[in-house]
Amino acid sequence: MTKTIMDWKSSLNSPEAFNSFITNYFNSHKELIGHYENSSYYEFYTVHLDDLNQLTITFTTGVNQTNAAVTPSPYKDIEKISVEQFRQLILNKKFAEKNASLADAFKIIAGVPAK
């Protein structure tokens, strides 16, 4: 298990430790980007920590064009949650995969299907 995976998982035990980990993570990375796509559907998301210390999650979902028919425009949604709300979501999901990364946690919370 890498140090980063151990750090974020061990930080879940304390609201203060998790807040510190998330703050440090986004100070170093600025943004977390992820996506899921198959032949008919796609989803892209970005996460960043805003000036109010809230996680801003932007989702863009859409349907891949399969023929000449009119394809609906992508749907974009923005959600804001506190770092503690995110910690509680993670704790309540009870991640089984011990090698899961923080990006994996965002995917699971967002409901992105496994490949």
Judging by beta carbons within 10 Å of its beta carbon (0-12, 13-18, 19+), is residue 36 exposed, middle or buried?
middle
- CA-CA distance, 85 to 81, in Å (whole number)? 6
Return per-residue pLDDT of the chain as tens, 115 residues: 444 545 777 888 899 999 998 898 888 888 888 888 888 888 888 889 999 999 998 888 888 876 556 667 888 888 888 999 888 877 776 554 556 666 666 666 555 555 5
CA angle (104 as vertex; 101, 107 as ends), nearest 5: 160
Q: Do residues 64 and 40 lie in contact, with contact meaning Cβ atoms separated by under 8 Å?
A: yes
This prediction has a pTM of: 0.66
